Amino acid sequence: MVAQTGSHILLVEDDIDLAQWIADYLTARDFKVTICHRGDEAVVLIGSLNPDIVLLDGMLPGMDGLDVCKTVRASFTNPIIMITARDEEIDEVLGLEMGADDYITKPVRARVLLARIRALLRRKEKSRTASSRVDELASNGVLKFSGLVISAQARSVILDGESIKISSNEFDVLWFLASKAGQVVSRKELVSHFRGFDYDGFDRSIDLRISRLRKKLKDDSSEPFRIKTIWGKGYLFAKDVW
């Protein structure tokens, strides 16, 4: 099991009592916790502290949590968990589309929060150690498909000579699918690998990442031909259409 004690968590929550309760709970489990109560201040702290994980409330003074997530996601690659009182599906979709890695609603259940944090930190550690397996996937950690070049070491994507900006979690999904080009990868396998728990038929985060990837990789959203949906089975990264 990956050692996760000592990981630095930035907690962004304007409810002072709730923030202190969460911080005390996590500190007792050997996490380092920094508390912030405003969205605009959170943007600055995320850039300066580069925490291992961010717990981000949805409704904040200074800047809404969704806007914080959208603002920092281009440069901040570590996990973000949205925590909010809003519980409608549209809010969950918005949070994930802004780049959040997970989403839980209030009232916060301590054990559930801890489990989600540990699952994301395990996934982060897997991503760090993935380079040790790169040689089994492609020479020098580079996957090439005609006009598409994916570099594991640089974590970069180039399509038709143009650098494509994608988030860290989008890159992880792309590399995973591309390394299995021509094979159908099930949603269950994707969710288990990236989210740390079994697919329950409702989790949509992987689907949203793939939807964003298709858009950025100039795939047809109505009839995707590069990252295909194989109905009832999963996704297939096509080899010869780049």
CATH number of the domain that residue 202 is part of: 1.10.10.10
Q: Which residue has the higher pLDDT, 187 or 139?
A: 187
What is the average pLDDT across 78-94?
Answer: 75
201 pLDDT band (50/70/90 cuts)? very low
Mean pLDDT of 85-94: 64
Provide the CATH number for the domain around residue 65.
3.40.50.2300
pLDDT band at residue 85 using 50, 70 and 90 as cut-offs: confident
Question: Does residue 21 sit in the same domain as residue 110?
Answer: yes
Q: Are residues 123 and 152 in the same domain?
A: no
The DSSP secondary-structure symbol of 161 reads T
Q: What is the pLDDT of residue 92?
A: 64
pLDDT at residue 200, as a whole number:
47
Q: Is 3 a domain residue?
A: no
Please answer whether residues 185 and 176 qualify as being in contact, where contact means their C-beta atoms are separated by less than 8 angstroms. yes
**In a shared domain, residues 29 and 121:** yes
Judge if 22 and 106 occupy the same domain.
yes
Quick one: pLDDT at residue 6?
81
Percent of the chain with pLDDT over 70: 85
- The verdict on 197 and 97 lying in the same domain is no
Of 80, 109, 103, the C-alpha closest to 21 is: 109
Indicate the burial class of 17 (C-beta count within 10 angstroms; 0-12, 13-18, 19 or more). exposed
Structural domain of residue 96, as residue ranges? 8-129
**How far apart, in whole angstroms, are the C-alpha atoms of residue 39 and residue 13?**
9
Our count of domains for the chain comes to 2
What does the alpha-carbon distance between residue 12 and residue 24 come to, in Å, rounded to a whole number? 14
Q: Which of 180, 183, 187 is nearest to 150 (CA)?
A: 180
Output the DSSP codes for 39-85: HHHHHHHHHHH--SEEEEESS-SSS-HHHHHHHHTTT--S-EEEEES
Q: Is residue 96 part of a domain?
A: yes
The pTM (predicted TM-score) of the whole model is 0.57
- Whether residues 149 and 72 share a domain: the answer is no
Q: How far apart are CA 236 and CA 242, in angstroms?
A: 14
What is the reported pLDDT for 133?
47
Looking at the domain assignment, is residue 59 inside a domain? yes
**Which pLDDT score is estimated for 39?**
96
Residues 30 and 120 occupy one common structural domain: yes
Count other C-beta atoms under 10 Å from residue 208's C-beta: 18
Single residue among 97, 129, 161 that ends a domain in this structure: 129
